[in-house]
Structure 1
Amino acid sequence: MNASFAPGGVLAGGLHAVSGPDHLAALLPRIMGQKWHKSMRIGATWGLGHGFSATVIGLAAFFFKDRLGLGHNKRLVAMMGSWTEGLVGVSLIAIGLLGLKESLLDYDETPAYEAKSAGSAVVEGGGAPGGGGMTKSRGGGRAIFFNGVLHGFSWDGAPSLAPALALSSWGSVLWFLLAYCSGTMVAMSATTTLIGEGSVRVGKALDQPDIPRKLSVVSSFVAIAIGAVWLAKAVFF
């Protein structure tokens, strides 16, 4: 039965989504200081984009596996992988810089009395109370989706898609890949929900509403550092 491959796809997609350091690095600056519902939406949108591109890769690989000689295409595959890794690195650096801008510059432009007047109420937009600029949107749904797509086209997730190549029918492959996509969405949305809501609650519990902003600054630097590593790997190795 084709659907019997679905559990394996969900597990493969979920494990890959939460195990990639570049994945969380891309999302941490966006979810710090965000309430659970907004963090969950960000994670699910990114996971959908990642699953979409992984599905495209899986279907293409299954189509070409018996049609093209692997030996003649190793150089092309390696070149495509390097270009994609370089783009992922650039996107991580851009996300980190944008996170720093919103956490530092935009936060500083918020009047101090506005943060104090918020009290313990939840600021509209899902940010942490008194978080100032942290309540700003961290990027539209399209940007988050396409960032997930870009990460999905990098070759670091290829091993988790390998089972699709061992299947014998299009139906089985499609079931596996759709389950893989679902796994990335569920795992990433659960992870971002816990992190985003957790950062808000920590700020409340410690009576330090700027904690989400500080966490966002740290996560932005992490994104920049990981992006630099990916970019260097693509250019020099």
Structure 2
Amino acid sequence: MITLSSIAGLLAGFVHALSGPDHLAAIAPLAADSDRRAWVIGLRWGIGHSIGAIIVGFLALFLQNSLHINIVSSFSEKIVGLMLIGVGLWGYNKACRIHIHDHEHAHDDSGHAHAHAHSLMQNHDDKPAHIHTHAALAMGAFHGLAGGAHIFGVLPALAMPSTIDAVFYLIFFGAGTITAMAGFASVMGIASKKMHAKGEAGYKIMMKSFSTAAIMVGVVWLAI
């Protein structure tokens, strides 16, 4: 049963991560801004989500009669909504200010150009943009505490025949979530890099689209 519960948790985590438009909307603007290490954004979001879901799962397992999951979930959903709107506004502002151009680089005595994205307020001596792993971790944690994670993570764990099965289910649920979101963020990073290479207009459209989606989903989360 441990093997079956582990497989079930892994698959549930994978499906849960990729089936939530709020998850994808939260990650896409951050990943698109971090094309070379975008997978780290997904990894940190997945870790945060796993921490949140596992906390709720363990509390539900051991404090079933005294834990009001709906209160935790409702509060977390509002926080997620605000964070999604914040990420969307940041991404939209980033898209409006971005400037993409070429730099010459020398490698093994041969020079060639790379496309680089810079804010209009940023000079070439500034350090590269910080990979927004802390934001991803925080958003993932609140997503893990919110309602969707309970359907795929907490409720199946409570239905397991033993506590050890439930624990393994929750652990592998987290592993599935982390793997799925790291993969999604990596794809977003590759897409972002290709848009960089094609020029400024396409990259701006992509960032504005992702950011608008994040804002819309955030508004929905606040409204429900």
Q: If the TM-score is normalised by the length of the shorter chain, which range does it land in?
A: 0.7 to 0.9
Q: Deviations for 1:147-185, whole angstroms, at most 9, x for unmatched residues?
A: 100111111221112221112333222111110110001
Structure 2: gaps (5+ residues): 106-111, 121-127
Q: Deviations for 1:67-113, whole angstroms, at most 9, x for unmatched residues?
A: x28xxx7xx544433222111110100111111222223x2xx5x7x
Q: Tell me, in whole angstroms, the C-alpha distance in 1 between the residues paired with 2:45 and 2:210.
A: 17
Query: Are 1:117 and 2:103 matched, yes or no?
Result: yes
1:7-86 to 2 correspondences below 5 Å: 7-35=7-35, 37-65=36-64, 68=65, 76-86=68-78
Identify which of 131, 134, 142 aligns with 2:117: 131
Identify which of 83, 95, 104 aligns with 1:103: 95
Alignment: residue pair count: 210
**Residue in 1 that maps onto 2:123:** none
Identify which of 119, 131, 144 aligns with 2:136: 144
Residue pair 2:34, 2:131 contacting (<8 A) in 1 also: no
Amino acid paired to 1:48: I
Q: Tell me, in whole angstroms, the C-alpha distance in 1 between the residues paired with 2:86 and 2:77.
A: 14
**Residue in 1 that maps onto 2:86:** 94
User: Comparing both structures, which one devotes a greater share of its residues to helix?
Assistant: 1
Question: Identity of aligned pairs, percent?
Answer: 29
Residue pair 1:53, 1:150 contacting (<8 A) in 2 also: yes
**Residue in 2 that maps onto 1:217:** 208
**Residue in 1 that maps onto 2:158:** 165
Residue pair 1:130, 1:209 contacting (<8 A) in 2 also: no
Q: 1:142 to 1:199 in 2, by over 3 A?
A: closer
TM-score after normalising by structure 2: 0.83
Q: Tell me, in whole angstroms, the C-alpha distance in 1 between the residues paired with 2:174 and 2:137.
A: 13
Instruction: Return the offset for 1:54.
Output: 0.6
Residue pair 1:89, 1:230 contacting (<8 A) in 2 also: yes
Residue pair 2:77, 2:142 contacting (<8 A) in 1 also: no
Instruction: Return the offset for 1:136.
Output: 2.3
Q: Tell me, in whole angstroms, the C-alpha distance in 2 between the residues paired with 1:32 and 1:12.
A: 26
Instruction: Return the offset for 1:210.
Output: 4.5
Residue pair 2:41, 2:131 contacting (<8 A) in 1 also: no
TM-score after normalising by structure 1: 0.79
Residue pair 1:199, 1:211 contacting (<8 A) in 2 also: no
Q: Deviations for 1:188-216, whole angstroms, at most 9, x for unmatched residues?
A: 11111112112312443xx3254233211
Q: Tell me, in whole angstroms, the C-alpha distance in 2 between the residues paired with 1:179 and 1:171.
A: 12
Q: 1:26 to 1:173 in 2, by over 3 A?
A: same
Query: Are 1:189 and 2:182 matched, yes or no?
Result: yes
Q: Tell me, in whole angstroms, the C-alpha distance in 1 between the residues paired with 2:89 and 2:104.
A: 27
Structure 1: gaps (5+ residues): 123-128
Q: 1:77 to 1:53 in 2, by over 3 A?
A: closer
